[in-house]
Amino acid sequence: MLDLSQKWLGNTLEEWAYALALALSINVILGLIKWVIITRGAKLAARTSSNVDDALIEIAKRTKQFLILGVTLMIGTRYLELSDQIDKTLITVATVSGFLQLGLWLNGGLSFWIETYRSKNSEGAAATSLGAVYFIGKILLWAIVSMLMLDNLGVDVTALVAGLGVGGIAVALALQNILGDLFASLSIVIDKPFVIGDTILVDTYFGTVEHVGLKTTRLRSVTGEQIIVSNSDLLKTRIRNYKRMEERRMLFTFGVTYQTPAEQLRKIPAMVQEMVESVPSARFNRAHFRGFGDSSLDFEVVYWMTEPDYAVGLGVQQDINLALFTRFEEEGIEFAYPTQTLFVQPQSSEPLHVKMAAAKGDAA
């Protein structure tokens, strides 16, 4: 029969048994809480739209029972009389285990946030930038956890922090352009001034976004070549995003001859309005007799395309032009073109009128 009154390392076996039972009991209770959160919580999370419960489940999955045991052993032995060496060893084990578990929980939270954001942004640019952010975030996280752990273990981390600070400044100076582009890429992913597939104008460069990388963004121009722009330079300039137009404003002008009667001039805006409104995807705005040109009476027409696609707009403009040409032909209204009228005074009392068409390409 085992005598529990025997002493080992300054305490009876019974006291050691109670201490171990306490440590294991706390470990088992925490393990049961983990199991409930993962199993029961998953069913609850499936019925809710909140991300809090999903984050809690992901963090709980990162719980390691052997690390929890390292902490609970110290808790269980607080009531025992131990030598300084053993007590220091248990405190060290508990400190290392506690900070490692804390790091795993924080890393789980960071991973959940990255994956949640990535699932909402499936384009390649988001995956690339968020992957880089996750990598940098993990390095910073474990660096902070490690220094806090060493500080709690009694290690003087002042010199280490100072050395890391100086080294970080040196690295940042050497890589400032790369880091600037990296953070610009992250800004593009989060702020979303454009996404892959958008057609944008950057300064004088016009094209469709093909790829947003860690350092550069690549556009495909309308003439076929690829335009590569630094991310940091991209955010320093004004960007026009044509893909996000809800409607496209269309404006065109035309002129009729000076021989057009005033009554027909008054009818032209209503004719144009009727033709624009008969075309699908077009919303009439205005049509006015704008002014007197050198060889024409000028009209200006503005309408809105409810479909902002440029190719669709050109098709609609073509339909309006053909309808306008047909209607004017029926009404006997002539389109103006650059002409010059010369009045020649002959010897007789009656003037001779000569009308000359200007050569193609000549100014009016």
Q: Model confidence over 83-109: pLDDT tens digits?
A: 888 888 888 999 999 999 999 999 988
Q: Of 104, 120, 136, which residue is a domain's last?
A: 120
Cβ(213)–Cβ(229) under 8 Å? no
Residue-number span of the structural domain to which 282 is assigned: 248-339
Structure confidence at residue 176 (pLDDT):
65
**218 and 280 both lie in a single domain:** no
Structure confidence at residue 360 (pLDDT):
45
Once rounded to an integer, what is the mean pLDDT over residues 186-207? Answer: 84
Phi, then psi, of 349 in degrees rounded to 5: -75, -15
DSSP state of 334: P
**326 and 285 both lie in a single domain:** yes
**238 and 262 both lie in a single domain:** no
Structure confidence at residue 351 (pLDDT):
57
**306 and 267 both lie in a single domain:** yes
Considering the domain boundaries, does residue 84 fall inside one?
yes
103-107, 155-159, 166-170, 244-248: range with highest mean pLDDT: 103-107
**Beta partners for residue 352, in sequence order:** 344
Considering the domain boundaries, does residue 99 fall inside one?
yes
Q: What's the CATH number where 208 sits?
A: 2.30.30.60
Of the candidate ranges 73-77, 105-109, 128-132, 206-210, the one whose mean pLDDT is the lowest: 128-132
| Gap between the Cα atoms of 345 and 130, Å rounded | 83
Buried b (16+ CB within 10 A) or exposed e, 278-313: ebebbebeebeeeeeeebbbbbbbebbbebbeeeeb
**107 and 206 both lie in a single domain:** no
Once rounded to an integer, what is the mean pLDDT over residues 147-165? Answer: 78
Q: What's the CATH number where 298 sits?
A: 3.30.70.100
* Pair of tokens at residue 127: 């995956």
Considering the domain boundaries, does residue 334 fall inside one?
yes
**230 and 194 both lie in a single domain:** yes
| Gap between the Cα atoms of 331 and 271, Å rounded | 10
Residues 6+ apart with CB under 8 A from 53: 41, 44, 45
**64 and 94 both lie in a single domain:** yes
Cβ(228)–Cβ(213) under 8 Å? no
Considering the domain boundaries, does residue 357 fall inside one?
no
**238 and 260 both lie in a single domain:** no
* Beta strands at 282-292 and 216-221: parallel, antiparallel or unpaired: unpaired
Which tops the pLDDT comparison, 136 or 30?
Answer: 30
When pLDDT is cut at 50, 70 and 90, the band that residue 135 belongs to is confident
Once rounded to an integer, what is the mean pLDDT over residues 304-324? Answer: 89
**31 and 86 both lie in a single domain:** yes
User: Could you tell me the CA-to-CA distances from 67 to 23, 64, 95, 239, 270 in Å, in that order?
Assistant: 12, 5, 10, 52, 83
pLDDT at residue 61 is higher than 80: yes
**292 and 274 both lie in a single domain:** yes
**What total of structural domains would you count in the chain?**
3
Which tops the pLDDT comparison, 232 or 292?
Answer: 292
Q: Of 120, 143, 159, which residue is a domain's last?
A: 120
Structure confidence at residue 357 (pLDDT):
54
Considering the domain boundaries, does residue 133 fall inside one?
no
Beta carbons within 10 angstroms of residue 209's beta carbon: 22
Q: Of 198, 227, 244, which residue is a domain's last?
A: 244
| Gap between the Cα atoms of 164 and 150, Å rounded | 15
